[in-house]
Chain A
Amino acid sequence: MNITKYVKIFREISALRISQVAAFGASFFVNVLTSIISNFLWPIVAVVLYAQTSGFPGWSIGEFILLQGTILLSFGIAGSSIFSIVWDIGWQIDEGLFDMTLLKPMGVIPGIIATSFNPWFIADIASGAVLVVTGIISSGAVISLLNILSYTILIASSMLVWFFFASLILSLNFKYLEAWGIFELFWTVKRLGEYPIDIYGGFLKFLLTFVIPFGLAGFYPAQILLGRITDWTQILILIVSSFVFGIVGYLILNRSIKNYSSAGG
């Protein structure tokens, strides 16, 4: 696989998408505003909740905001790159236009990933980063360089987790066409990972780590940044899990592409 070719495609597409955004300046501005308001509503709710109650067991307000910021940051990065294949390719499948992608002189999956840049998620990345920093400051956590490094690695590997979910959604889209319901379900299940997953009990915590791994995108990176997970074996298991999900996602997507009928929906 010629990596340089795909990097070049990514660069070209990114420049093109940014110029598209510039052409719809007002729409982009409203979108950014919508994202920022939506992203900060839950932290506001958290502040209200923690003012009235003791909040979630084992999580101070700052730590909870850090957790919310982490999953937002992770999803924001994925949404502006690897996860946006869900919308791009989903639309192509519904319209019967995916043939065009198949005809391009590049590997199908590397190609759709290289063309996936989506600047509309920039507000999520910024909001996530602001919440993470706010969370660190208000929790008073002492963060070591090693924690930051492990956190960064976990966030990077969580992209494979989002790729796994994107592949899963797309595979259902290939099968059922115009499968809006799948999105409805995805957003709901994603909400499970937006809270400390230890509140759900042992079985669901296991499920959210090793079966529907939203924990790998929010809960565990936050735990690592807060210095609650220091055992390298544990961190390694989490990273390897993300890679396993990435490989499974690739295999699912590869198989689904082979079933594409080109009929549209």
Chain B
Amino acid sequence: MGIKKYTAYIGIEFKHSISHRSLLIAKIVAIPLSIFVMVAIWNAIYLNNDAEIIGYFTKEQMVNYSILSVIGSYLLANRSDMELGRIIRNGKLTNELIRPNQYYLVQFFKSLGFRTADFVVAAPISIALGVIFFGFKQYDYVFTLMSVLSFSLSFLLIFLFNMIFGLIAFKVIDYDNFGWLKNTLVSFFSGGIISLSVFPLFFQNTMMFLPFQHMLYTPIRIFVGGYVLEQCILFIFVQAIWVVSMFFIMKFGWKMAVKNFSGVGT
């Protein structure tokens, strides 16, 4: 498949994201600040609550969940659907289709490169501040390793979901609003705003049959020791099935969309 020509995009995007210093500095400040907000909220709620456990989590686990959900939301996010919407609107997708590359692979490696900068700069600083000020801790090496694997699958899953959802851009003039709507709903259903374990049981059971909880909630819950080992293996397996299914849906959808693409732009 000649993966080398694609991996070059990682380096290019990495340099690109590092060169936007204002954005990187803002993230270095924004991530810890978001963590602070979430921790303050949960501290206040636990302080005002008689029960020591809320939604299966102790206060310590909930604080760790919040820290990882903020960092994860930044690291796993990608704008591949917005980018697709933009180049369809201005007609530049035609240029991309002429190139001897698969567009979705280019986008994937670009996303990887862009997030690498956050991973090596913003994430370590946020985790260090989390350890120093909020008692962020690692629970178990096995769970941590499984969580890393699960996070990697989440990255793939979010990318594929975005690419599938982004196909809407072939049918509408202005995709951006659809993109924002999707981002908001995914953040809610994936446990990015609040842990899904706090929701009523019927909601949690419904989420089991959808891919969203595997985008953020599953890897974080694995990390904080919210699952036993067998459950971790099962959920990672389910995540992998979602990734494979979405890959084929995306490939099929992409083929159909490009077939009907006129390349006129607006």
Bound form: Cα–Cα A37–B48 in Å: 29
Stretch in B123-131, B191-199, B217-225, B248-256 with 4+ CB within 8 Å of A: B191-199
Contacts of A188 in B (CB 8 A): 29-30, 33-34, 37
Contact A181 B23 (CB under 8 A): yes
Which residue in chain B gives the minimum CB-CB distance to A197? B40
A93-144: which residues lie under 8 A (CB-CB) from chain B? none
A176, chain B: closest CB distance, angstroms = 5
Stretch in A51-59, A158-166, A217-225 with 4+ CB within 8 Å of B: A51-59
Contacts of B40 in A (CB 8 A): 195, 199-200
Bound form: Cα–Cα A27–B185 in Å: 18
Bound form: Cα–Cα A106–B185 in Å: 44
Cβ-based interface call for A34 (8 A): yes
Which residue in chain A gives the minimum CB-CB distance to B33? A188
**Interface residues as binary, B47-60 with A (CB distance below 8 Å gives 1, 0 otherwise):** 11111001100000
Contacts of B99 in A (CB 8 A): none
In-complex Cβ contact of B198 among A26, A27, A49 (8 A): A49
In-complex Cβ contact of A42 among B20, B30, B34, B193 (8 A): B193
Contact A176 B198 (CB under 8 A): no
Cβ-based interface call for B105 (8 A): no
Bound form: Cα–Cα A195–B37 in Å: 9
Contact A37 B24 (CB under 8 A): no
Bound form: Cα–Cα A172–B23 in Å: 12
Known contacts A56-B48, A184-B27, A199-B41; decide if A48 and B173 are in contact (CB<8 Å): no
Contact B25 A181 (CB under 8 A): yes
Contact A48 B44 (CB under 8 A): no
In-complex Cβ contact of B44 among A42, A57, A172, A192 (8 A): A57
Contacts of A55 in B (CB 8 A): 45, 48
In-complex Cβ contact of B184 among A37, A45, A172 (8 A): A37
B111, chain A: closest CB distance, angstroms = 17
Contact B185 A185 (CB under 8 A): no
Q: Is the interface of A mostly helix, strand, loop or mixed?
A: helix
Cβ-based interface call for B180 (8 A): yes
Known contacts A30-B181, A41-B193, A45-B193; decide if A56 and B30 are in contact (CB<8 Å): no
Contact A191 B37 (CB under 8 A): yes
In-complex Cβ contact of B45 among A24, A56, A189 (8 A): A56
B166-219: which residues lie under 8 A (CB-CB) from chain A? 172-174, 177-178, 180-181, 184-185, 188, 193-194, 198-200
Contact B34 A41 (CB under 8 A): no
Contact A33 B181 (CB under 8 A): yes
Report the interface size for chain B: residues with CB under 8 A from the other chain. Answer: 39
In-complex Cβ contact of B27 among A34, A181, A189, A192 (8 A): A181
In-complex Cβ contact of B22 among A34, A42, A181, A196 (8 A): A181
Which residue in chain A gives the minimum CB-CB distance to B41? A195
Which residue in chain A gives the minimum CB-CB distance to B29? A185
B3-55: which residues lie under 8 A (CB-CB) from chain A? 20, 22-27, 29-30, 33-34, 37, 40-41, 43-45, 47-51, 54-55
Bound form: Cα–Cα A38–B48 in Å: 27
Which has the most chain A C-beta neighbours within 10 Å: B30, B47, B172, B184? B30
Bound form: Cα–Cα A37–B25 in Å: 31
Contacts of A200 in B (CB 8 A): 40
B44, chain A: closest CB distance, angstroms = 4
Bound form: Cα–Cα A42–B192 in Å: 12
Contacts of A192 in B (CB 8 A): 33, 37
Report A's interface with B, CB cutoff 8 A.
24, 26-27, 30-31, 33-34, 37-38, 41-42, 45, 48-49, 51-57, 172, 176, 179-182, 184-185, 188-189, 191-192, 195-196, 199-200
Q: Which 9 A-B pairs have the closest CB atoms?
A: A181-B26, A181-B23, A199-B44, A181-B22, A30-B177, A188-B30, A34-B181, A57-B48, A185-B26
Given A38-B181, A41-B188, A53-B45, output 10 extra A-B contacts at Cβ < 8 Å: A27-B174, A33-B181, A45-B194, A49-B45, A51-B200, A180-B23, A182-B22, A184-B26, A185-B30, A199-B40
